[in-house]
Every structure is written in structure tokens, then in C-alpha cells.
């Protein structure tokens, strides 16, 4: 996807999981009884119809089933949602259609069904290639099962990616190097490598507060981050975003849409959107609680609880916050057009002297490898 090509993504959130991982603060819920999938599918179809009436004609360039655990959905449900997208919008011939999957054998068995439904890319939550670590992360699969799921993904889809979490309990640089190299040997074109974040109000936050979570110290975590960048770059999978690595041209187009601040719609419980309607950029969010979302859609035709028109300042801040996550950086002229003023040359000069940002030969501003570990501070400084 060319950088300047306008993209329009559709995000579909499936909010259920079989169990809740103790580090996770995504909008994911465990239910004792299986959710009424057909009823949920009708609600997704309803939200898509309402969305299309609002946006008017659009060409969808990517669709992303995220969660939660969308690989708990029946392939027929995924097919029905994709049919509804195609009914209301035109879908680009080369649209990227990704589904996030958990690597248990039951779910991997559905991969062919997803492919038949139109999914052309899977993103697997492998998380670790060590059984002890998987257990401590509360995962219900083993490393062998995860690798078996990766093999099925490889056989079923032209494109696949998987996620690992690093800077885990007691993880040494040596152990992570071996694990990452093993992962790279299994990867094709894309890997997502997340540093473990202890999110507030999760069981991990409680464990840490009780002194029962021995995570690497910040300087060790930073060393693991730098090791990750070096090993991946050497293997031909350089970072194109803080936590995402790909061969050139194999970046996740859906996520690029977020980071490049193009348009996306979010359907399903707790989904966010950024839509240009009229001359305004709208930031939307739907009801998070699955059953409340369902009832809202059934009575109103949509699950929106927030639909704010963003100010110029807010759009400009998001443009920096999202764009500077990418190694391609941002075009300062686009920033000036959005903000109505250019970036402060004095602040830019200081950040440049500190080695945190640089200008590329084609006039883009990007964060340097040394600046990425302090990205939040760089963005805050530029946006102030
Ligand atoms: C929406 S989640 C999960 C997808 C899928 N349900 C799974 O767990 O395999 C997407 C990814 O975010 C990452 N993630 C979630 N919580 C995290 C945390 N606290 N720290 C770092 N990475 C996290 C995991 O790698 C996960 O695969
Ligand atoms: S990490 Fe994935 S499987 Fe675990 S609770 Fe979060 S969304 Fe569900």
C-alpha cells in the first residue's frame, strides 16, 4: 500500500475468550454459556448497514477481526460478516482480511474454513515458545501446540504473523535471543513483538504490587528491546513500528491505516473508529459490554456511545502520536496542513541534537532508534 494512498479499514471486535489471561486488559470476556453467535452476527450486520448509511460509498482496503478471540467464531459467522461488508461497501480486490487466532488445536482446525470465508491473513497469539512462560502468562496452549498452529497457518494462508511477549519474568537476554531466533525461523514475513506491559487492574498488577512478579528492571528491558531490533533487522524483519516487524511490503495494511491516520470504522463491542464525514473527523466508540452492545444495536441499529468531532489540535496530536510510531515517520507538511501551524523548529532542533529525531532525505521527520525507547516523551515534547 502506498503511503499516500487513502485506505479505509473495517475493524470487527469479537469480545469473548475461553479464559482471561492475567496480563490482558483488552475488552475480552469469559462466559459460562456460549454466546448466541447468530444473534451477534445479526447485530454486526445491523451495525454495518447503519455505518454505510452514514459514510456513503467507500472502498474497503482492509478488514480485521480482533478480540477477544475471534478464532472462537464459526467460519460461517465470519463469512456472513464479510458478505455484509461486501453488501454495503465496495471491497478492494486486494483487500487484506486478517483474523486474530489463538493457537489451540481446536481453533487451528477452523483455519481452512476461514480461508474459504475470505480471510487471507492470520495473526496468531503465540506469546512465548517456552511452556513454563506460557503457563505463567496463563495461556492454555503449549509451545508445541503454538508451533503446530503456525504450521497450519503457513499451509492455509499466503500471509500470517504471530505475536510474542518479551521482557517476561526472569527472562535473560540469552534466553530471549534463543527464543526470538527460533521464532524468526518459523516466521514468514511479519512478527509482532510486544514488551510485557503491566496494565492497571489486571491480576499481573496485583502480583507486582505484592512483589510476586519478578520482571526485568527497566535497563534490562531496554536491552531486550535493543536486542530485538538488532536480531530482527539482521534477519530481514526490521521494525516498521514500535512492536511490529516485517519484510518490505509485508506490513499489516490494516494497522498502517491506524498509524497513518487514514479512515477506519469499528464495529462490535468496544470498537473505535475514525471517520471523515462531511468536513469533520469523527472519533467513535461503541458500548464495551457485549450484551449491552447487543441490545443497543437491536434497538438503535448501532452500538455507538461516543461520536465526537475532533478539533484541529486533537487531529494534529493524534497524527504525531500515531505517525511517529512508524519508522517511516511523518511528513511535517501534512502536520502543518492539519494543525494550521508547523512544528516548533526550536524543539525540533533540541530533539535532533539529543539524537531522538532526524529528518530523512525526502523531508520526513522520524524518531531515531535511540529515540524509540522514549517515544512518549518525544511526542509529548513536539505536541506541547
Ligand atoms: C487482542 S490481543 C490477543 C489476541 C488473542 N486473543 C491471543 O491472545 O492470542 C493482541 C496481542 O496483544 C498482546 N498483549 C496483550 N496484552 C499485553 C500486555 N499486557 N503486554 C504486552 N502485550 C500484550 C499479545 O501478544 C496479544 O497476542
Ligand atoms: S490475551 Fe487474548 S486470549 Fe488472553 S484474555 Fe486477552 S484477548 Fe483473551
pLDDT on residue 188:
92
Q: Is 268 left (phi over 0), alpha (psi -120 to 50) or beta?
A: left
Give the alpha-carbon dihedral of 250, 252, 258, 264, to 10 degrees: 120
According to DSSP, the residues that pair with 220 across neighbouring strands are none
- Which ligand is located closest to the Cα atom of residue 137? 2
Check if 194 has its Cβ closer than 6 Å to any atom of ligand 1. yes
Report how far apart, in Å, the C-alpha atoms of 214 and of each of 138, 169, 170, 305 are: 16, 5, 6, 39
H or E stretch at 273: strand 272-277
Which ligand 1 atom minimizes the distance to the CA of 192? Answer: 25
In sequence order, the β-bridge partners of residue 193 are 164
Pocket test for ligand 1, best of 30, 163, 228, 272 (most atoms within 8 A of CB): 163
- pLDDT attached to residue 34: 92
Q: Which of 12, 21, 24, 215 gets mutated to test ligand 1 (max ligand atoms within 8 A of its CB)?
A: 24
Ligand 1 atom nearest the C-alpha of 204 is: 19
pLDDT value for 2: 66
* Ligand 2 binding residues, C-beta < 6 A: 17, 20-21, 24, 26, 28, 67-69, 102, 125
pTM of the model: 0.97
C-beta of 64 in contact with ligand 1 (< 6 A): no
List the residue whose alpha carbon is closest to atom 6 of ligand 2.
Answer: 24
Report the pLDDT value the prediction gives residue 23, as an integer from 0 to 100: 98
Q: What pLDDT, on the 0 to 100 scale, is given for residue 106?
A: 74
| DSSP 8-class letter at 91 | E
For ligand 2, pick from 16, 21, 73 the residue to mutate: most ligand atoms within 8 Å of CB: 21
- Grid coordinates belonging to 247: 519484510
pLDDT at 105: 73
Classify residue 170 by its DSSP letter.
T
- Cα(170) to centroid of ligand 2, in Å? 22
Ligand 2: nearest atom to the Cα of 127 = 1
Residues of the chain with pLDDT under 50: none
pLDDT of residue 107: 80
Compute CA 278 distance to the chain's CA centroid, rounded to the nearest angstrom.
27
Whose alpha carbon is nearest atom 10 of ligand 1? Answer: 125
- 165 touches ligand 1 (CB under 6 Å): yes
The per-type count for the chain, helices as H runs and strands as E runs, is 15, 14
3-state SS record for 21-36: CCCCCCCCECCCCCCC
Quote the pLDDT of residue 356: 97
Amino acid at each position: 500500500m502506498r503511503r499516500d494512498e487513502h485506505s479505509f479499514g473495517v475493524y470487527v471486535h469479537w469480545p469473548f475468550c475461553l479464559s482471561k489471561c492475567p496480563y490482558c486488559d483488552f475488552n475480552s470476556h469469559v462466559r459460562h454459556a456460549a454466546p448466541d453467535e447468530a444473534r451477534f452476527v445479526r447485530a454486526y450486520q445491523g451495525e454495518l448497514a447503519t455505518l454505510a448509511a452514514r459514510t456513503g460509498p467507500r472502498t474497503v482496503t482492509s478488514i480485521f477481526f480482533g478480540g477477544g478471540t475471534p478464532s472462537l467464531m464459526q467460519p460461517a459467522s465470519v463469512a456472513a460478516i464479510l458478505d455484509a461488508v461486501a453488501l454495503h461497501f465496495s471491497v478492494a480486490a486486494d483487500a487484506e482480511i486478517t483474523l486474530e487466532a489463538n493457537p489451540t488445536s481446536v481453533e487451528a482446525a477452523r483455519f481452512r474454513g476461514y480461508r474459504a470465508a475470505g480471510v487471507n491473513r492470520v495473526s496468531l497469539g503465540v506469546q512465548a515458545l517456552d511452556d513454563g512462560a506460557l503457563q505463567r502468562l496463563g495461556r492454555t496452549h503449549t509451545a508445541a501446540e503454538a508451533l503446530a498452529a503456525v504450521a497450519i497457518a503457513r499451509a492455509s494462508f499466503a500471509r500470517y504473523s504471530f505475536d510474542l511477549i518479551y521482557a517476561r519474568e526472569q527472562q535473560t537476554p540469552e534466553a530471549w535471543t534463543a527464543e526470538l531466533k527460533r521464532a524468526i525461523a518459523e516466521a514468514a514475513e511479519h512478527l509482532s513483538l510486544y514488551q510485557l506491559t503491566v496494565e492497571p487492574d489486571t491480576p499481573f498488577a496485583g502480583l507486582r504490587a505484592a512483589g510476586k512478579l519478578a520482571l526485568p528492571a527497566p535497563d534490562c528491558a531496554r536491552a531486550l528491546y535493543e536486542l530485538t531490533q538488532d536480531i530482527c533487522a539482521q534477519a530481514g524483519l526490521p521494525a516498521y513500528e514500535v512492536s511490529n516487524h516485517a519484510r518490505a511490503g509485508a506490513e499489516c495494511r490494516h494497522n498502517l491505516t491506524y498509524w497513518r491516520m487514514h479512515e477506519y470504522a469499528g464495529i462490535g463491542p468496544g470498537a473505535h473508529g475514525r471517520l471523515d464525514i462531511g468536513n469533520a473527523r469523527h472519533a467513535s466508540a461503541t458500548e464495551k459490554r457485549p450484551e449491552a452492545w447487543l441490545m443497543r444495536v437491536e434497538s438503535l441499529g448501532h452500538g455507538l456511545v461516543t461520536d465526537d468531532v475532533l478539533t484541529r489540535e486533537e487531529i494534529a496530536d493524534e497524527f504525531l502520536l500515531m505517525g511517529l510510531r512508524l519508522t517511516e515517520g511523518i511528513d511535517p507538511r501534512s502536520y502543518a496542513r492539519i494543525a494550521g501551524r508547523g512544528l516548533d523548529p526550536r524543539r525540533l532542533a533540541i530533539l535532533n541534537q539529543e539524537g531522538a529525531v532526524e529528518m530523512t532525505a525526502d523531508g520526513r521527520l522520524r524518531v531515531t532508534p535511540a529515540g524509540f525507547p522514549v517515544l512518549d516523551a518525544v511526542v509529548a515534547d513536539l505536541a506541547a
